[in-house]
Structure formats: C-alpha cells, structure tokens
A and B are shown apart, each in its own frame.
Chain A
C-alpha cells in the first residue's frame, strides 16, 4: 500500500489531513517534527510521499527534505506552508521539487491535493 508521511508541528493540521487521505485509501503516518520524521524513516518506515510543513521548530522543512532525501532518494515531497511569500530554495529545486509541489495553507480543495498525492505515489 502507498505510504504517506505528514510532517507538521500543528497537530490538528496533520490529523485532519491524515483523516482525509486515509478516507482516500492511503496509508498515512504523522510526525510532529523533522527530527521525528527522520527517526521514523531511520527505523525503517517506507515513505513514498512526504508532505512537509516548512516552518518547524528545530530542524526546518528545508533541511528536513534534504536529510530525508539523503536517507531515501525515492521519497517524493509536497511542501505545505502557511507563508504566502515562501519560494522554493535552490537546494530543494536540486532534488526535483518544483512549484507544482508547493501547496499553501489553507488548502481549499483537498480533492485536487489528494489527486496529486495519488499521482506521486503511482510514480508519476
């Protein structure tokens, strides 16, 4: 089954998103920090798509994506940020993240978002 990891320090965001994606038949894990996410992958969690909040306590989303990519280059990322001015950093561009992978909070259309997650899980 396709596996999704949601990283967000805002628990209601990750649990709401997890609920929606689970209803869509996706297997979802949740991490409240970048450090937790790295531990989960380190412990053997297989992740196809990681939904990453950019502003996090401790390690930020920018570093977390790069660290996860080093652990498993197969992970695909979707960035989920509350900062309307956020621009994808060169480091993240370098690991294949494009503006198509950038979602701004609040996501008003979860159906479209879910379709993107499915597409990434299917390796498209």
Chain B
C-alpha cells in the first residue's frame, strides 16, 4: 500500500475544519474512523490513551489491530456483509465488545458505530466507551449477591422473601429443599402454594408486612404424615424502592419441643424420686407399727392362746361372746382392711423408690427378644380374676426386622418396663367396650443408634388429656386400689434416666395405643 498517498488523502474534513477537529479531540470517549476496508483514518487523543498507541502508529492500519481476538477474526466479513446487504447489525447502534491494547491486554468497551458518507469519504465512525470500571463494579455486585445468597443458603432455617401480595421473590436452599424443588423454580410463585401450612398464618404475615412490625409465632403445631411437627415462624417486614415485602423464616423445632417435653417430664420424675428416697424410711416405720399392731390385735383376740383365756377369765369376760360380737359387728374385717391398706402403702413406697436407684453395676449386653419372651411368659401367668383379664387370650404378633437385638441394659429393670407395658395393654383391652379380639403387636426395628420396640394394642386408646399425664407419678385411670399410678412413671424413669433411652406414647381413641420404647443398641467391639 502506498502510504504516502494515504497520508495525503487522510487530510479529511475533520482535520480540515478546526471546529470539527476541536470537537473530535475533546470528546470524552475514543473516536475512531475507518474506511470501508477497515483501515484506520482517524484516532483521537482519548483513543490513543485508551489503546496505548500514538495515532501515527495506527493510521492506515486495519481496525482489527484494536479488537480482542474473538472479535477481530470476523471483522472483515462484517464490513463486507454490510456493504453487500446494507443490513445494519452494529451500524447505527452499539454493543459491548472487547478491545485490545498495545500491550496485548483485553478490556471491555461499549462500541457504537455510525456510517459516514460524504463527498471525499465513505467509512464508519466508532465511538468507544471504556467499560472497565463499570464491569468491575458489576462483578463486585455479582459477587456480593452471590455471597449473600451463599449466606442465606447456609442458614438451616427456611427463608423466603415475599412481596406485599405474598409472591415469592427470594428463597434459600433450605426452603427449596423443603419443597424438593430447584432453587430457581420457586421465584414468582405464591407463598401459600408452596407452603400450604402457612395458609392460617397468612393474615399475620401480611399484617407484619403492611404494618412493618415483626411477627413471631412459636411452636405452631402442624399435622404431617409422620405425626405432629412444630415450627417457629418469624416474619420480618422489609421495605425497598420496589415497595413493601417481608422475609418469612421457618424453623422446624419438633425435636426441640420433644426434648423440652422430655426434660419437663424427667424433672417431674426426679423431684418425686428425691422425695421418695427420704420419705420411704419415715413412712415404713409407722406402717410397721400399724402392720404389727393389727397382727397383735388378731392374735390377742384369738381363743387359741392360753394367755388370752387366762386374762379374760381373770376379768370375768367370756372370750367366745366377745369374739362373736366382734364378728357380727365386722370388727375383724376392719382389722383386715387396715392390714390390706398397710400392705398397699408399703407397695407404693417400694415402687416410688425405684426412682432413687441409680445403680449401673448390673448393666450387661442382653438380647431384647429374649427379654420380651421372658416377660410374655411372666405375663401369661398374671391371670387375675379381680382385674378381669386373661393374658393368654390375647394374640401376640411379633414383627421383628433387625440384624442384632442386643442392648446394654439392666435386664431386671427392662423386664419391669416391658411387663408394665404389656399388662397395661392387656388391662386396657379388657376394658374395651367394642369387644374386638384383643391383639398386641410387638414391632422391633433398628433406628439410628436405637433399637426401637413398639407395643401396639387394639384397645380403647386414650384421650389427649390422659396421654399427656400418663407418665406422671400417681396418675392412674384404674379404679381406686387397682393401680398405684407409679407403674408407667417408674418405667419412664428406668428407660430415660437409667438407660438413656426414650419412652413415648401415641394413641388414637377408639383404635388403640402404641408405646414406643427406644433403647441404645449395644455396639460389639
């Protein structure tokens, strides 16, 4: 190419007219003109600064020199296509592309291109705006957003941002996981559609947003497939340029509620336990006096002991008449009643003391299945006419699905627990007005660190009121004198305190009850 000719031709209107030259040289953006072959015809001072070339160095050279490789490759084709078809792509508008500096570095630019057709020149004028700062800001913003999302995603709580209409604007990973959805799917959907259990809370949520005060609701019970769940719900109002909205935070506190209930229960047990240990001795002494006095009374009224006759004769008393009088007036029955009551009180004291026994010395690896069989055998001999049930008439179903049934326990204590559960089930079913054939299912499963035994009966079940108080000491549904009200309380203590297990009850009135016993599995080493 004859550069001297080009140099001469390059005295264009923009350098000929000082006013135009003044404009071009003082524009804040880079201005570059090329001819229809792509050769640079003009390169203003901002372009020199931006690309790092002095104008003389780029004059007449192809504009591809200044484009990043991804764009330079097809530049000739772009121009050829335009000249042929006159279909403007970038011409008359602009787009984001990448430029290349003299030192080879690539940087983001906004390029707008216009066609220039005057007498002595046909070509294109490009105005180039450096986007480096803007792009960095965008990147920083994107990073900030991503790390914010990371932060809310790392929260175990379900977090959902909603607008005033209750439409989801954001949500975190826990929220999406709750719905088994991809995190991108939920945006734009109504909150209650994805979280139907919030239907009832909708009023509180929208008033929190509207009135801009947070709403906090604790331990909301939810019925779910696997039983009752509890959630804590917090609604924080938010206001932004786009209008009102809020963040809904949901925490599943089922486990915490359950543990708290258990702690309250244990607390109750322990206070009775401590009391029992101290009281037992004090109660047994007067009981001993009553018991022995009764026995002395009976003996000293006996006509078989010579001393009795001797004393009576000395007093001129007819012992036989006195005995008849006592019989007819029921006095011997009163004495018998006192003896029976004393015996019962003694039994209560003994059972109460099960609380204060904390020995772990007799813990041994034990087969739970064998314990169950021992207890079933014991229970089958517990036929009691007065209690009106016969254990042998109950059908027992064993549903076992386990690899190992070994637990580390005090066998006698766990036997006591199992016997209590089985006898309670039997007694409950005996009192069932529906007269269904009594059946107990024993279901044994492994569950995490536990061996889980469910004792399921088809008795009359129990009300929520009874269920809540079931493990309370001295709570009994049996007639006076039939139960001490300590059986299940002691069982609860043995399981939770001595064996660090769990004992829970579920019941559907009219259908039956289920006691779930969890004991730590014994790991073989």
Asked if A108 contacts B299 (CB within 8 A), the reply is no
**Known contacts A106-B284, A106-B342, A107-B288, A85 near B296 by CB under 8 Å:** no
**A residues near B281, Cβ cutoff 8 Å:** 55, 81-83
**B residues near A23, Cβ cutoff 8 Å:** 296, 299-300, 305, 307
**B residues near A85, Cβ cutoff 8 Å:** 277, 280, 353, 356-357
Asked if A10 contacts B285 (CB within 8 A), the reply is yes
B349: interface (CB < 8 Å): yes
**Known contacts A84-B280, A106-B292, A108-B339, A13 near B349 by CB under 8 Å:** no
From residue B302, how far is it (CB to closest CB) to chain A in Å?
Answer: 9
Asked if B284 contacts A84 (CB within 8 A), the reply is yes
**B residues near A108, Cβ cutoff 8 Å:** 291, 339, 342-343, 346
Distance between Cα atoms of A91 and B293 in the complex (Å): 33
Asked if B291 contacts A83 (CB within 8 A), the reply is no
Residue of B nearest to A11 (CB): B289
Residue of A19, A55, A84, A105 near B288 (CB, 8 A) is A105
A16: interface (CB < 8 Å): yes
Asked if A83 contacts B280 (CB within 8 A), the reply is yes
B9: interface (CB < 8 Å): no
From residue A110, how far is it (CB to closest CB) to chain B in Å?
Answer: 5
Asked if B287 contacts A105 (CB within 8 A), the reply is yes
Asked if B296 contacts A16 (CB within 8 A), the reply is yes
**Residue interface mask A70-90, B partner, CB < 8 A = 1:** 000000000001111100000
**A residues near B343, Cβ cutoff 8 Å:** 106, 108
**A residues near B132, Cβ cutoff 8 Å:** none
Most chain-B CB neighbours within 10 Å: which of A10, A55, A105?
Answer: A105
CB proximity to B under 8 Å, residues A1-49: 10, 12-13, 16-17, 19-20, 23
From residue B221, how far is it (CB to closest CB) to chain A in Å?
Answer: 42
Distance between Cα atoms of A84 and B281 in the complex (Å): 8
Distance between Cα atoms of A85 and B281 in the complex (Å): 10
Q: State how many residues of chain B have any CB contact under 8 Å with chain A.
A: 29
Residue of B292, B342, B353 near A16 (CB, 8 A) is B292
**Known contacts A10-B285, A106-B342, A82 near B292 by CB under 8 Å:** no
Distance between Cα atoms of A84 and B350 in the complex (Å): 7
Residue of A nearest to B340 (CB): A108
**B residues near A107, Cβ cutoff 8 Å:** 288, 291-292
Residue of A13, A17, A84 near B285 (CB, 8 A) is A13
**A residues near B291, Cβ cutoff 8 Å:** 105-108
Residue of A17, A83, A104 near B292 (CB, 8 A) is A17
Distance between Cα atoms of A20 and B307 in the complex (Å): 12
Residue of A nearest to B277 (CB): A85
Distance between Cα atoms of A10 and B357 in the complex (Å): 26
**A residues near B295, Cβ cutoff 8 Å:** 20, 110
From residue A66, how far is it (CB to closest CB) to chain B in Å?
Answer: 22
Can you name 18 A-B residue pairings with CB atoms under 8 Å?
A12-B293, A13-B285, A17-B292, A20-B296, A23-B300, A23-B307, A82-B280, A82-B284, A83-B281, A84-B280, A105-B287, A106-B284, A106-B288, A106-B290, A106-B342, A107-B288, A108-B346, A110-B292
Known: A13-B285, A16-B296, A83-B284. 8 other contacts (CB 8 A): A19-B296, A23-B305, A105-B284, A105-B285, A105-B291, A106-B289, A107-B291, A108-B339
4 smallest CB-CB distances across A and B, nearest first, come from A82-B284, A105-B288, A106-B291, A16-B292
